[in-house]
């Protein structure tokens, strides 16, 4: 099992975490927001957090809340990721669901995606990004030269991802507003093949027509369908999950069953290393390449 953390994200920093919260720097601005995994004590005092944060998310009910901001905090801003030839720009914004547009721990996968696409044999590799959100992984694949299909069931985040593409001086991503499972089933019927597949499914979710997604009930079937459209000879594959009850051993078992011939299978946890020393776990992953 491996522990992965982004090592090259100069414009991002986890400053402190604890008491079910995290304090993060995104470019020039610092946010404080809830984090259910941070069950330990903060290293810095509440006064230090308050003095540093430009925006603090206050929970209102189980899923939504309100941002309390300082005068110099914009509603949205831009952050750049630049490492080893991968150079992308991402718009950030304060949403009522505490998210701001990226999951910074995924930068560890962006580097992997960029390198995998570069080493594929296909002249223009086809890459499928499912549950693709605002497109960090999509842009990493596109920047490396892939033909990318970006699938998400929420129109607003597809529009957001399109903004990120344009800000990154990229083009021709194929945006698809659809339930991920239904899209893959259709590609199976069409006998399509992809050299890269990336999945980052939520624990729970809804499709474009109200289709219900529950990770533990549906991931096995989705992986079975993904196997049918993955190029057997020339490929890479990434599965990320963020669920408090999901172990990396579950990911290993799933991928070992559906892809028994997978080479270089790696699995483990994604985490962020706070400046104050704590390690914040933020999901589990499995990935492999030909």
pLDDT attached to residue 2: 95
The two domains 2-76 and 104-289 share their CATH topology (first three levels equal)? no
* CATH superfamily, region 104-289: Vaccinia Virus protein VP39 (3.40.50.150)
Would you state the CATH architecture of domain 2-76?
Sandwich (2.60)
Walk along the chain (290 residues) and give the pLDDT tens digit of each residue. 899 999 999 999 999 999 999 999 999 999 999 999 999 999 999 999 999 999 999 988 777 899 999 999 999 999 999 999 999 999 999 999 899 999 999 999 999 999 999 999 999 999 999 999 999 999 999 999 999 999 999 999 999 999 999 999 999 999 999 999 999 999 999 999 999 999 999 887 777 777 777 888 999 999 999 999 999 999 999 999 987 778 999 999 999 999 999 988 999 999 999 999 999 999 999 999 99
> Measuring CA to CA, which residue among 265, 256, 197, 195 is closest to residue 225?
197
Q: Number of H helices and number of E strands within the chain?
A: 7, 17
Query: What's the pTM?
Result: 0.94
CB 157 within 8 A of CB 198: no
pLDDT attached to residue 60: 81
pLDDT attached to residue 28: 96
Domain ranges for the chain, please list them. Answer: 2-76, 104-289
> Measuring CA to CA, which residue among 258, 257, 273 is closest to residue 228?
258
């Amino acid at each position: 099992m491996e522990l992965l953390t982004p090592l090259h994200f100069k414009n991002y920093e986890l400053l402190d975490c604890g008491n079910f919260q995290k304090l993060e720097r995104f470019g020039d601005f610092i946010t404080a927001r809830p984090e259910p995994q941070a069950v330990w004590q903060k290293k810095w005092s509440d006064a230090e957090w308050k003095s540093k944060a430009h925006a603090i998310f206050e929970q209102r009910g189980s899923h939504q809340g309100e941002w309390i901001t300082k005068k110099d905090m914009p509603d949205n801003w831009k952050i750049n990721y630049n490492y080893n030839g991968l150079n992308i720009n991402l718009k950030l914004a304060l949403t009522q669901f505490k998210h701001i547009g990226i999951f910074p721990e995924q930068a560890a996968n962006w580097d992997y995606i960029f390198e995998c696409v570069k080493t594929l044999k296909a002249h223009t590799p086809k890459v499928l990004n499912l549950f693709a959100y605002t497109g960090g992984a999509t842009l990493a694949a596109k920047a490396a030269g892939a033909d990318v299909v970006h699938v998400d069931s929420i129109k607003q985040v597809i529009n957001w991802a399109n903004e990120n593409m344009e800000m990154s001086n990229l083009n021709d991503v194929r945006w698809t507003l659809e339930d991920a499972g239904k899209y893959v089933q259709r590609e199976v019927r069409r006998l399509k093949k992809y050299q890269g597949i990336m999945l980052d499914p939520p624990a729970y979710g809804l499709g474009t027509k109200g289709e219900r997604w529950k990770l533990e009930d549906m991931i096995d079937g989705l992986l079975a369908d993904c196997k049918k459209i993955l190029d057997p000879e020339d490929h890479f594959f990434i599965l990320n999950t963020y669920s408090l009850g999901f172990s990396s051993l579950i990911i290993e078992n799933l991928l070992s069953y559906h892809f028994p011939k997978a080479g270089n299978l790696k699995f483990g946890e994604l985490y962020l290393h706070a400046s104050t020393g704590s390690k914040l776990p933020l999901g589990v992953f499995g990935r492999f390449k030909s």
